[in-house]
Structure formats: structure tokens, C-alpha cells
Chains A and B, each alone.
Chain A
Amino acid sequence: MIQQYAKLIIGFPKSVLIVVMFLTIYIGLGISKLQTRNNYDSDLPKDDPIIITNDRLEEVFGEKDVILIGIKADNIFNQQTLRKIALISEELKQVEGVVEDQIISLSTLNNIKGRDWGLDVGPFMGDVPETDEEIDRIRQDVMTNNLIYGKLVSKDLSSTIITANIERGYDQATVYNQVRKITEKYNGPERLYINGEPIIQQEIDLGIQRDISVLLPFALILVLIGFFLSFRNLRGVFLPFIVVVLSIVWTMGIMGWVGLEMTVVSSALPMVMVAVASSYGIHIVHRYYEEIRHKSVAVAVRETIVAMTPPVAMTGITSAAGSATLAVFKVVSIREFGIIAAIGILSALFLTLSVPPALLMLLKKPVRKHKKIRNSFIDRVLMSLGRFTLDKPGIVLIVTLIIIGFSIVGITRIRIGSDITEMFPKKHSIRQSFDMFNDYLGGARYFNVMISGKKPNTITNPALLRQIEDFQRYAEKLEGVGYTNSFADIIKRIHRVMNSDNLEFERIPDSEALIAQYLLLYSMSGDPGDFEDIVDYDYQRAKIRIMIRTSDQDDHKRLYRDLRHYAKTHFDQGVEIEFAGSVMSWLARIQYIVRGEIQNIIMAIVIIFLFCLIVFRSLSGGLLSIVPLSIATMITFGLMGFIGIRLEMGTSIITAIAVGVGVDFAIHFVSRFKEEFPKTGDTEKATVTTLTTTGKAIIFDMFSNILGFSVLIFSGFTPVQNFGWLVSLTMITSGFGSLVILPPLFAAFKPRFIWGKGKTKTTRIGSGVSVQTIPVYVKENDHYKK
């Protein structure tokens, strides 16, 4: 079959290229259809209890997004800052999608105040105050209103928030730009910070765009340099480069055509493709240069195809299979990444096996240049490494066991999950905004707690309102909670105001009718939408908002646990309490990531094991092949535990990629050793030869992978950064692991698929594919030796 394929390429190189070209154009058109997805609400299964609660909460209380503007000054109570608050509140009305009468700020908010003449219902600040007395009055009003003080205005009076509700269906880029324009205009000397879903989502979009437009060229330049260093001629640089570029076009194009969206996770995809596709291209071109020295172009190309198709296909299939195992995750962005990465790797495989051979057919035989052989420093290092591992297998074993031991300790310390906040690096403007909100304004993220009665008008029951109040007091005492608000606060406020502003009356009244009448009073003094956010229309459900002033998900977890426990033990039976909000949906991920990761590790390793088992037709062959990458994975996770990198969206894709790509090293090593050993029957000789030939190739392969992956360290997203360097690290550990651990293991266990049944049967054929994988590196390294 491979022979026929070779005939096709050799016979019709132009046709092959034209077909590939048209396919590329067609598939490439899909790139224009590519959408980005910045909304992570849809990331979890629809039947998740938290997702269901979130959906119901939106149904009851409306589905609006909120823009937050935080203003930080020394003291906001001066004419200039107050004027800015009024102007910003006014200008926000012009922003697309903003609901005009749902802007909340000192200048728009109504205050119910008890005055000596009666009840004053009106804005805190009708017009911008002109005199110190007026400013002083506003400050007094703020400081005596518990709905505002410590919430809309910070307790130290240095900061305040302006919020604007925005109807779904807005164009988020437009909103972002318009809001940014306003805040830039009024920034200084007060510092202005923006936050809220639309802002975060746009920052994610911008980050993805930036990552791709900056990191991709960077990665491409790096591989170009890499290719140049390995080949030092144009052909050697551009043939693999074409494979890389076409692979990216295909992957992104297919993504567009099948309607998969770009997410923070899949923004790493082009760089993953650079890493994977570059090594495939290198192998083909390397081999061609080997063959062409003694043969005609057609023969050389045929030999290259025949020799290279099995090993490249094998490494491609293992990598694709590894990625595809990510499909076990129930987190959509991870699952989609796995699927599209697998498709991309298979595309790269196809392109590698078609484009460079066909192009080589059309190019003239290269002029032979005497190639300067690079120093054999690496050879010497590798040789002594081989001898060392065989002389002192005990040391290798002990060191390995110690490393494994440490890794296990580290693994037990791994923290799981992360909040959306932590997606952005510490210096990112969104993070700074979160920090400012957390430090001064009681936080920007929150739990929504929905209290539901069995029938309408339950919420106006004084006993239930008192339980809500107690729950809020309890929550506010917890470390990490900024403040809380609910419908009960408003009732208390009105009760106090209606009773000569006497602080003693800041409590829930006993009469249900009075509560109903207060509500009527409040609703009469406001807009129809005023209450919508905290109580439903028939007073059956209320929403308590618990603001959180920490971005650490472990705190979120603890708060959720404590709050839920309190709610279960302190509310009347028959009242249902549910937790929702985007903090909750990020918490919900944890279980999916844990379960997905465990399933994924097992599945990836089992699949790779089975694959190697088939390839080597040997149980021990399969087992030996997965040893280095298993240890490498453990080291990576152990390290994550020690340095506190969390297992989340970015890091949970490491295993699948690292296992799929990293197994190549072991496969190559085992194959070559299996080839070398029967020649002499001497373990050390076989080891040294394997190390200095295939071993060296493994090191080059490893570096070409790292070249692509390491670029991700410069991503604008923390998860991608972590993925980038951890996957690079795993490449190194599984690469070196293969070189160091396998020889002593061979020596110790003398596996039958290498040693044979007796020492005489060393030349047994029967390793199918693997036999053909071996010459690659033999010849490659001949190339270096001459």
C-alpha cells in the first residue's frame, strides 16, 4: 500500500500538489467563519445542577449583564469627583445596550430619608453640589444609609461604584470601546477601573487575538531558525515550514467549517500545531537528504516515502489519539480542544506525507555540499550517559524512585480549579481592577443565593425575612465576604426611615401587612424595574447577593461550604436555598476537571499502551514504552503541587498532549534498541549506539517540540502560559526519561521481545512497523557522522 502511495506521489506530483492546494483554499475559507467564544457559562453540561440553578435564576430575575466602573480617589466627596460621577452616569446612557434607567450611582440612586418635615424620596445627588454644605449633606446621607455605605461607597469614602445594566444581545466590542472611552476621558487624578462580564469577555477576545497575532509569528520564526540550524539550506527550511503553515491553515479552517469556536484553551492550538507539525516535516526532509546522496530524485523520494510513512504515521496517530482522549472531559472548551487538536495532528500527518515528497519530486537534485559535521560533544555526553546508567542502574533506580516519591507528595498537594479572574496574569488591567474592587469596594464577584418559598407572598413573611437577615449577618462575618444585600435590607431601611430615622427601627417589622405596604411605598418611589433584581414578581423568591473580595478559588470553595451548611441548618423547612452565579459555575468545574483528568490520564496511558503493545507485539514492549512518559507526567503534576500551579482548564490538557507526543521518544528508543541489540547481543553497545543515533534524534525532536510550545509562555492568559512551560517540561522529562530509564530497565528485565526466547534467536523478524521505523535515525545519524 505504501508502495502504491509512493507511486502516486512520484507519478503525479503536480496533480497531488494541485489537489492539496485546492483543498487548502477550500478548507482555509473556513478561517473566516471562525468565531471566538468568551462566555464560559456554556462550558459545563446542561444538566449540571448549578447550571440549572443559574438558568432558573436568570429566568426569575432577568438576564442582564453588568458593567462596573470603580472610582478611586483620596476622598470622593469633593465637587470635582461628584461631578465626574454624575457625568459618567449620564454618558453611560449613551453606551449601546445600556438600560438607561438601570444605571446605579450616587447621582442616579434614590434615597429614602427621614427629614424633620417628613419623608424625602429623591436622588442622593440631584444636581452636582455647589457648596461645602451640600457636599457635607450628601456625605451624611451616605454614611447614615446602610444600603449604600460600605457598598456603593467604600467605608473609607475613597471609592465608589457606578454600575450599568446592559441587555443581552449587545455587541461586546462596541460596549467595551465606548466604556473605555468614557473612563479614559475621566481618568485622573481619580483612578477609574472597569469590570463586569462584557469587559472581561472582551478582554478574553482581545487576548486570544493578541496571542494568535503575536505568538504565532513568533513561533513560526523560532521554527524557521530551528530548521535552519538543522539543515542550513533553503529547501530544508522551507519544506517543513510549508507543512507547518498548511497544518495551521487546515486546523483553523476545519475549526471554522465545523463551527468550533476559539476559546482561551484553543488559542494555544496554532502553537501546538507548530510544535507537532515541525517535527514531522523534519523527519521527511532529513530522510530525503539521506537518500538523495546516492540515488536519483525519484528513487530517493520513493525510499523516503516508504521508509518514513510508518514511523511518522505512528507518531502522528499516537499524538492524535492522546489529544482525542481529552474528549472524556465534560468541560466543553477542553473537550473541543482535544477533538480539534486530534484532527489538526492528522491533517499535519497527511500534509507531511504528501506535500514535501511531491515538491521534492519537482525540485532538482540538490548540489552536494560538504557538510561540516557538528561537534560530537552531544555524542560524548550521550555515550557516558549510557555507560553510567548501565554501570550504576541502582543509582538510576533510586534517583527515579526518589523523584517519583517527591512527585507523589506534590500530587497530593495539587489544588484544583481556578476562578475566571486567575485566567489573567497579575499585571493585567482586569486583575488590577479586581484587586481594586476587592480591596476597596467589597469585591466584584458574588454568590447569588436564591431563597424560594412554596407559594407566592412567602418572602414578605417577617420570620423568613429575619432568617434572611441572620444569614446575611453570618455571611458578612466570614473571611473574604465583602458585603451582602437583599430585599430584607430595604425593608429594614424603610422601617427605620418611617420611624423618625431611629436606628432602633432598623430591623424587620413584625407585621406582614406593614412589610407589604413598605414595598408598595418603595415601588411607588422607584422605577418598575427596581425590585426585579432582588425579589420576583409574586414575592415567592428572593435573591441574596453575597459579594466576595477574594479571587482565590479555595476561598470561594470554603465560603460556599460554610454558607451552604449554615443555610441548611438555619432556614425553615419548606424554604429552598440554592447557590448560583458565575463564581458557582467556576466552582462546578472542579469536579468535572478532577473526574475528567483522572479518566483522561488512565485513558491516554491505556490507549498508548495498547498501541505500543500492538506495534511491538509484546506486553513488556507496551509497558516499557509507557514508563518514561508516566514518570514524566508524575513529575509535572508533582511540580504543580509544589509550586502551586492549579489543575484547571489550561493544565488539564497537558497530560493528553504530553503523553501523545512524548511517547514518540520511547517508541523510537525501544525500536532502535530492539534493532541494535541482536547485532551484538551486548546491552552496553546497543545502548550507546541507540543513544548516539536515535538518542540524539530524540533530543532534536524534543527541542523542535519545545520550540513551538515554549512560545505559549508569552501568552496573555495564565492557563496558557502554564500549559506552555509545563508541556515543554514534560517533553524534556519524557525525552530524557526515555534515554536514562529505559537502558537499565532493558538490562534488568531482559524483555523477551528484544532478547528473544533464547540468545540465538536474535534476528527474529516480526516487529512489523517498528522495523521500518528504525532506519530513519540510523541514516539520519550517518548523515551527521560523515
Chain B
Amino acid sequence: MKRSVIFIMATLCFMADPGSGQNLTAREIMERNNAQATTRDERAGFTMKLINKRGKERKRKVVMYSKTDAQNKEKTLVRFLSPADVKGVGLLSIDDGDREDQWLYLPALKRVRRISSSEKSDSFMGSDFSYEDIEQNELNDYQYTLLGQETVDGVDCYVVRSIPASDEIKKETAYSMTDMWIRKDNYVSVMVKFYNQKGDLIKLMVSTDIRRIDGAEKWRANFITMKNVKTGHRTELLYDTIQINQGVADKFFTQRYLERGR
């Protein structure tokens, strides 16, 4: 009941927003999409299913903490909860904008090891998501074009195409372009198509079960599928909890916490 009231209020709120009129530029849409996604801190519990072409799956349950601290450092901690034999495996990364440091903890080894940082185009935890797919892009790194407007599952969306703005970005990213379907009402992207350097569609991301997160003016998909159309492999993320801006303590992002879990 409460949820629906908020929903209505939110909808009204968006409708009242003068910017939600028809004349947004692609860049403006992306700005809003970006703002919608950006948070101070976040705690998310999810199940990651890796599913191969033959339908065989590997399932991992994970909790992920992230925070942008006072020094503007982006910190993330991923902790595996299941399957049993990898329970407690943790990965901590701290990015101060210039460099990223990562530490890994394997409980069976009882040791924290520093590991090298990941590239933008590297796979995120062995899934079909690359780091660049889950990170928020720097707005100026890409050029945007509004391709049009379409309805996805009955919801009006803008279709925005992003193309790397510089040779530097072109070199870092695995994609020659991405097309995003962004909801007009809350600026959440519900579908993304990724094109490889050849210009072929390579991956397709679909986000569903989009809900407003309690206590934050943010919307999140609770079920995300990323499919590699070339290999037939896909990854599903099913969220059980998402908390935004509820305050995540700094101590989560220390090697000590990584190792001891407290």
C-alpha cells in the first residue's frame, strides 16, 4: 500500500518535472540516467547465475558493498556467501581515480593477496558483464545521439546511442557503440545493446522488475540478464536486497575486514 502511494507520488513528481517534456537532448537524457544511478553508498545482495549455451548453470550468492568516500575514493567489497566451498571469498577494490587497488581473500588459504587491477573490458567476476557494463560511464567519454522513442514492455523509452568520444576511450572499451533504451519516467535503462568493434551485436542486457528503492529517490532493476549473443552464454543477476544511501561503514573496505569478516 505504502509502496503504491510512493509510486504514484513519484510518478506525479516526475510528471511535474519540466525536464521530462519532449525536448530533451540525448546528452540530457544520459545526464539524468547517470544521476539516477549515482549513489553515495549501496549494499546489494544477489544471486549470480552463469548459464552456458547448453543450459548448465553455476550459481553464486554474493553480497556487495560499495561507497564513495569523503576523498571521492570508490570502494567496493564483494563477498561470496555460497556455494559452501567458496563461502567467505572476498574481493576488495579501492579506486582513487588514478589507480585501483584490489585485494583478494581466500579463506582456505587464510591470506589476503593483493591482485592486479582489472581493465575496463575485463569480465566482472567471470560473468558476461564487463566492468564497463556495470560501472557508470564518465559522461564526457561518449557522444550521444537520440535514435528515437520506443515502448518496451508497455513503457515509453528513449533510445540513445553512445559512441566513444576519443581514441583513448575507443582503445579501452570493447564496444564500437551501445544502444540504450531508457525509461522516460525514471531514466532507468531497461535494455542495452552492445556492438563489438566489427559493428555486430555482441551482448544484450535486459533489466526487469524495476522498483523504487525505499529511502532513496532511486530506481533499480531486481532482475538483470546479460546475454552474449555470440557464445550463447548468459548471466542472470537476481537481487534479494538493495539498500541505497543507508550508510555503509568505512571499516567494510579494509583488508582487516576482508580477512576477518568483522
Contact B230 A516, beta carbon cutoff 8 Å? no
Q: Which of the listed residues A100, A514, A538 has the most CB atoms from chain B within 10 Å of its own CB?
A: A100
**A675–chain B nearest beta-carbon distance, Å:** 72
Which of A199-207, A215-223, A525-533 forms contacts with chain B? Answer: A525-533
Which of B50-58, B149-157, B178-186, B236-244 forms contacts with chain A? Answer: B50-58
Contact B91 A524, beta carbon cutoff 8 Å? yes
Given contacts A99-B231, A538-B56, contact A119 B128 (CB under 8 A): no
In the complex, A47 has a CB within 8 A of chain B: no
8 Å CB contact of B128 from A94, A512, A528, A530 = A528
List the B residue with the shortest CB-CB distance to A514: B108
List the B residue with the shortest CB-CB distance to A457: B85
Given contacts A513-B107, A514-B108, contact A528 B114 (CB under 8 A): no
Contact A526 B230, beta carbon cutoff 8 Å? no
Contact A524 B108, beta carbon cutoff 8 Å? no
Contact B109 A523, beta carbon cutoff 8 Å? no
Given contacts A517-B86, A520-B89, contact A121 B115 (CB under 8 A): yes
Contact B85 A512, beta carbon cutoff 8 Å? yes
A523–B233 CA distance with the chains assembled, in angstroms: 14
User: Which of B188-213 touch A at CB < 8 Å?
Assistant: 196-198, 202
Contact B233 A529, beta carbon cutoff 8 Å? yes
List the B residue with the shortest CB-CB distance to A499: B109
Q: Which of the listed residues B83, B116, B196 has the most CB atoms from chain A within 10 Å of its own CB?
A: B116
In the complex, B3 has a CB within 8 A of chain A: no
Contact B106 A523, beta carbon cutoff 8 Å? no
| Interfacial chain A residues near B231, Cβ < 8 Å | 99, 101-102, 528-529
| Interfacial chain A residues near B125, Cβ < 8 Å | 523-524
Contact B197 A93, beta carbon cutoff 8 Å? yes
Given contacts A524-B125, A528-B128, contact A118 B109 (CB under 8 A): no
8 Å CB contact of B85 from A93, A513, A525 = A513
Chain B interface residue count, Cβ-Cβ cutoff 8 angstroms? 40
Contact B196 A526, beta carbon cutoff 8 Å? no
Contact A120 B126, beta carbon cutoff 8 Å? no
| Interfacial chain A residues near B113, Cβ < 8 Å | 118-119, 498
8 Å CB contact of B123 from A512, A526, A536 = A526
A 338-367 to B, binary, CB cutoff 8 A, 1 in contact else 0: 000000000000000000000000000000
The dominant DSSP class at the A interface is mixed
**B38–chain A nearest beta-carbon distance, Å:** 26
In the complex, B228 has a CB within 8 A of chain A: yes
List the B residue with the shortest CB-CB distance to A60: B54
In the complex, A478 has a CB within 8 A of chain B: no
8 Å CB contact of A513 from B53, B108, B230, B233 = B108
List the B residue with the shortest CB-CB distance to A531: B126
| Interfacial chain B residues near A167, Cβ < 8 Å | 230
The number of residue pairs between A and B whose CB atoms lie closer than 8 Å in the complex comes to 100
Given contacts A526-B123, A528-B235, contact A93 B198 (CB under 8 A): yes
8 Å CB contact of A119 from B53, B114, B126, B228 = B114
A124–B237 CA distance with the chains assembled, in angstroms: 31
A768–B136 CA distance with the chains assembled, in angstroms: 95
User: Which of B99-134 touch A at CB < 8 Å?
Assistant: 103-104, 106-109, 113-116, 119, 122-123, 125-128
In the complex, B80 has a CB within 8 A of chain A: yes
User: Which of A526-573 touch B at CB < 8 Å?
Assistant: 526-530, 532, 536-538
**B203–chain A nearest beta-carbon distance, Å:** 11
**B56–chain A nearest beta-carbon distance, Å:** 4
**A88–chain B nearest beta-carbon distance, Å:** 16
User: Which of B38-72 touch A at CB < 8 Å?
Assistant: 50, 52-54, 56-58, 60
| Interfacial chain A residues near B86, Cβ < 8 Å | 513, 516-517, 520
A67–B104 CA distance with the chains assembled, in angstroms: 36
A524–B104 CA distance with the chains assembled, in angstroms: 11
Given contacts A121-B116, A512-B85, A529-B231, contact A94 B198 (CB under 8 A): yes
A538–B80 CA distance with the chains assembled, in angstroms: 18
Given contacts A523-B126, A527-B126, contact A537 B109 (CB under 8 A): no
Taking A118-B115, A516-B83, A527-B126 as known contacts, 4 extra A-B pairs with beta carbons closer than 8 A to each other, sorted by chain A number, are A460-B85, A498-B113, A517-B85, A524-B125
Residues of A within 8 A of B (CB): 59, 62, 93-94, 99-102, 115, 117-122, 167, 460, 498, 511-514, 516-518, 520-521, 523-530, 532, 536-538
